[in-house]
């Protein structure tokens, strides 16, 4: 085996009988996930004696993936620059998948069985293959790696199947997939303003459960299991705002008809400039929709663009009145910003994104005891301004830790960042969080994550109601000034604990997203200052919202409910309004502030109705429109 090299992974590739494998393909994939851009990757081939040298950056964890068409494959992780490895290839396993139809018990011919090996979250798919089942319902796939394998099965007019097969060295693997006929969702997609069908709309979820609308807007989705719980029916098109509707299939058989009405989308354009204010060609731009009660579909919306020669980029398909976080990167420099569109008829001009030199972080993890090396994952996040719950913080990068406890983050956006270390080992589990504030070009080279010892949690305690019961799902936040340093969702017995770096003082805040309990804060909390006992009080407010709900003919609507949402966080208030026989409703115990309102009817007869900025004390008249 070649000697070690501090700037490369070196090793030798062998068959399982110890014979060297010349010409084997060797690839190293960085296990560091990035918000923008690709993780590090390097490839080479073994020489005539099976030896290889693969240059990689230091202090970054890699997964080594080695393959040879005759000898098999192998995967090693984590591997770092300076490591010397001996890679033994395994010829792989044979998967034999037997398929049949549940209703008849007969073999199902023509089912496509796919296998996939992707060991790292957000990482590349290292192996994938597929086969069709024969007349006996048997599909055979060979040379499958010994790791954990995802297996999926699809066939016309039946519900898809999926399962995970645990890692093993032995084979063959015998599986049985029993398919059953399911429920289809079919309908048309219309432009709400014109009533015309819209073609080219992607309806459904990512993966196999989707369809593209035809020339008249018609679509027909693959089947889902009958009696399935709520499913999210989404629709996306560059010219229309993202759409989502939640449907229950529990009482549905055969086919459900559903027509979708899309609203015109907003658009925005922006420019990426360098430090001399010149346009940048080829900068990567990512926009992510923030939490909003106006458009639930925008929460998971992620748009990726590349700037042209004038430094410009265009964002289409944006939801109205939703704030989008915008991140730009080019050759290690970054810029961040926000854009919010209010008029679908106009193109929003965003503030120019001026690139600055990225910051860097270098540090070390102190392990609990000599010889004990728990698995450690580091996550770096941007502390976004405001209280956008799911987007505060916004993820930037994720990385592993070297055997010596070293870690590194390069090309980091300057500003306030949250570094979270999650460690897990035999009888050991801990999470530590610290906040860094970095200037452009600054290097923080003395960051220490201290996992040593078994010290008690820096902050711990219990949240309970006035009667001593658990409040259910509430969020406990630790604030450093106005920033959320760390947070936990708790339930059950209401217990919480935090491991935090720093000396405080901090503020502990408990937030009930449904606003059944008052928001409670405990200021001036110091590390290990004692167990906190936080009592939540039920929200009793004098403000109410009264309203009247009717259809287009003026008839009262009874079978519906009225929900109110916090316009800042998107959380729904626990109180609902249920109309009486005359269509009148009342929502009590509200704060004296504007809410966003949304109405759903139980039978799906009417279009969902949304109204922004309703204020308690001001009666509202609402009219529902029947679905076309």
- The neighbour count for residue 625, using CB atoms within 10 Å, is 13
Percentage of the chain exceeding pLDDT 70: 83
| 3 within some domain | no
Same domain, 350 and 270: yes
Same domain, 312 and 386: no
| Helix ranges (DSSP H) in 460-597 | none
CB of 179 closer than 8 Å to CB of 99: yes
pLDDT of residue 73: 92
> What CA–CA distances, in Å, run from 318 to 82, 195, 201, 391?
47, 21, 15, 17
pLDDT of residue 161: 84
Of 57, 73, 88, the residue that ends a domain is 88
Burial 127-151 (b: 16+ CB within 10 A, else e): beeebebeeebbbebebbbbbebeb
Which tokens in the block code for residue 472?
A: 């259910």
Which residue has better confidence, 467 or 404? 467
| 2 within some domain | no
| 1 within some domain | no
The per-residue pLDDT for range 237-255, each reduced to its tens digit, is 888 888 887 776 655 667 7
Q: How far apart are CA 217 and CA 387, in angstroms?
A: 38
Q: How far apart are CA 486 and CA 498, in angstroms?
A: 8
Which residue has better confidence, 604 or 323? 323
Average pLDDT score over the chain: 81
Same domain, 251 and 286: no
pLDDT of residue 396: 57
User: If you search the block for the tokens 């398929």, which residue do you land on?
Assistant: 99
Same domain, 252 and 226: yes
Of 536, 569, 588, the residue that ends a domain is 536
**Domain residues for 393?**
359-450
Mean pLDDT of 48-69: 89
CB of 585 closer than 8 Å to CB of 614: no
Which residue has better confidence, 536 or 205? 536
Mean pLDDT of 540-562: 84
SS3 102: coil
CB of 346 closer than 8 Å to CB of 265: no
CB of 453 closer than 8 Å to CB of 366: no
| 151 within some domain | yes
As for how many domains the chain has, the answer is 7
Return the top range by mean pLDDT from 142-151, 385-394, 556-565.
Answer: 142-151
Q: Is the pLDDT of residue 388 over 60?
A: no
The per-residue pLDDT for range 419-435, each reduced to its tens digit, is 887 776 655 566 777 77
Lowest mean pLDDT among 258-272, 289-303, 515-529, 585-599: 289-303
- The neighbour count for residue 37, using CB atoms within 10 Å, is 13
CB of 209 closer than 8 Å to CB of 222: yes
> Cβ contacts of residue 553 below 8 Å, gap of 6+?
none
Closest CA to 595 of 621, 569, 628: 569
pTM comes to 0.59
**Strand boundaries in 91-172, DSSP class E:** 93-101, 112-117, 127-132, 138-144, 149-154, 161-165
Same domain, 193 and 246: yes
Find the distance separating the first CA and the last CA of the chain, reported in whole Å: 72
* CATH assignment at residue 248: 2.60.40.1120
Which tokens in the block code for residue 561?
A: 């409910």
Q: Is the pLDDT of residue 385 over 70?
A: no
Same domain, 190 and 174: no
Which tokens in the block code for residue 48?
A: 């005539």
Same domain, 68 and 106: no
Which tokens in the block code for residue 587?
A: 């929502």
Q: Is the pLDDT of residue 390 over 50?
A: no
Q: How far apart are CA 133 and CA 510, in angstroms?
A: 54
Radius of gyration of the chain measured on its C-alpha atoms = 28
Same domain, 529 and 514: yes
Same domain, 27 and 49: yes
Same domain, 294 and 255: no
- The neighbour count for residue 374, using CB atoms within 10 Å, is 18
Of 262, 290, 305, the residue that ends a domain is 262
H or E element at residue 53:
strand 51-55
Q: How far apart are CA 150 and CA 97, in angstroms?
A: 13
Same domain, 195 and 175: no
The per-residue pLDDT for range 98-140, each reduced to its tens digit, is 999 888 889 999 999 999 998 876 678 899 999 999 999 999 9
- The neighbour count for residue 592, using CB atoms within 10 Å, is 10
Distance of alpha carbon 136 from the chain centroid:
40
Same domain, 270 and 341: yes
The per-residue pLDDT for range 350-381, each reduced to its tens digit, is 788 888 877 888 888 876 655 556 677 777 77
The per-residue pLDDT for range 438-489, each reduced to its tens digit, is 887 888 888 887 776 545 456 888 998 888 887 877 888 888 887 777 777 7
The per-residue pLDDT for range 214-242, each reduced to its tens digit, is 999 999 988 876 555 567 788 988 888 88
Count of residues for the chain?
628
CB of 605 closer than 8 Å to CB of 553: no
pLDDT of residue 252: 61
Bridge partners, residue 447, by sequence: 363
């Amino acid at each position: 085996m070649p000697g070690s090299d501090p700037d490369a992974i070196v090793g030798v590739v062998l068959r399982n009988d110890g014979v060297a494998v010349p010409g084997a393909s060797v690839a190293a994939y960085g296990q560091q996930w990035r918000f923008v851009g690709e993780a590090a990757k390097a490839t080479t081939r073994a020489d005539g004696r099976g030896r290889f040298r693969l240059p990689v950056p230091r202090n970054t964890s890699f997964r080594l993936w080695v393959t040879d068409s005759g000898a098999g494959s192998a995967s090693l992780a984590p591997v770092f620059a300076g490591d010397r490895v001996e890679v033994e290839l395994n010829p792989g396993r044979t998967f034999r998948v037997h398929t049949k139809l549940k209703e008849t018990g007969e073999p199902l011919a023509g089912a496509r069985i796919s296998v996939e090996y992707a060991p790292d979250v957000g990482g590349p798919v290292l192996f994938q293959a597929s086969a069709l089942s024969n007349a006996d319902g048997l599909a055979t796939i060979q040379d499958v790696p010994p790791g954990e394998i995802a297996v999926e099965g699809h066939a016309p007019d039946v519900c898809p199947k999926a399962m995970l097969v645990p890692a093993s060295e032995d084979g063959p693997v015998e599986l049985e997939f029993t398919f059953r006929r399911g429920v289809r969702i079919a309908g048309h997609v219309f432009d709400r303003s014109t009533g015309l069908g819209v073609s080219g709309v992607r309806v459904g979820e990512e993966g196999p459960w989707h369809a593209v609308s035809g020339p008249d807007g018609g679509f027909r989705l693959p089947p889902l299991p009958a009696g399935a719980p709520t499913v999210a029916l989404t629709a996306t098109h560059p010219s229309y705002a993202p759409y989502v509707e939640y449907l229950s299939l529990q009482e549905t058989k055969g086919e459900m008809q559903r027509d979708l009405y899309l609203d015109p989308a907003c658009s925005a354009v922006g420019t990426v400039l360098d430090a001399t204010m010149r346009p940048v060609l080829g900068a990567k731009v990512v926009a992510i929709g923030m939490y909003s009660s106006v458009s639930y579909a925008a929460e998971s919306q992620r748009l990726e663009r590349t700037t042209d020669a004038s430094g410009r980029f265009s964002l289409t398909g944006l939801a109205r009145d939703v704030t989008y976080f915008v991140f730009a990167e080019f050759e290690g420099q970054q810029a961040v910003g926000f854009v919010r569109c209010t008029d679908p008829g106009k193109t929003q001009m965003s503030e120019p994104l001026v690139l600055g030199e990225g910051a860097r972080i270098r540090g070390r993890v102190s392990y609990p005891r000599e010889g004990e090396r728990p698995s450690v994952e580091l996550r770096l996040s941007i502390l976004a301004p405001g209280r956008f719950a799911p987007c505060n913080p916004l993820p930037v990068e994720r990385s592993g830790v070297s055997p010596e406890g070293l870690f590194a983050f390069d090309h980091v956006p300057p500003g306030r960042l949250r570094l979270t270390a999650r460690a897990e080992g035999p009888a050991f589990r801990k999470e530590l969080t610290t906040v860094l504030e970095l200037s452009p070009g600054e290097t923080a080279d003395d960051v220490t994550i201290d996992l040593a010892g078994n010290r008690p949690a820096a902050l711990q305690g219990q949240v309970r109601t006035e009667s001593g019961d658990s409040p259910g799902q509430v969020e406990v936040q630790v604030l450093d000034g106005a920033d959320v340093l760390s947070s936990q969702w708790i339930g059950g017995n209401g217990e919480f604990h935090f491991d935090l770096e720093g000396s405080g003082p901090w503020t502990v805040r408990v937030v009930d997203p449904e606003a059944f309990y008052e928001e409670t804060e405990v200021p001036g909390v110091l590390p290990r200052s004692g167990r906190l006992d936080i009592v939540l009080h039920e929200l009793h407010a004098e403000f109410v919202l009264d309203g009247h709900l009717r259809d287009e003919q003026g008839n009262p609507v009874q079978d519906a409910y009225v929900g109110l949402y916090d316009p800042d966080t998107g959380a729904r208030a626990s109180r609902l309004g249920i109309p009486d026989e005359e269509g009148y409703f009342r929502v009590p115990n509200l704060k004296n502030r504007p809410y966003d309102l949304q109405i759903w009817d139980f039978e799906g007869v009417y279009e969902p109705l949304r109204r922004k900025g309703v204020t308690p004390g001001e009666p509202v008249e609402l009219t529902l429109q029947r679905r076309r």
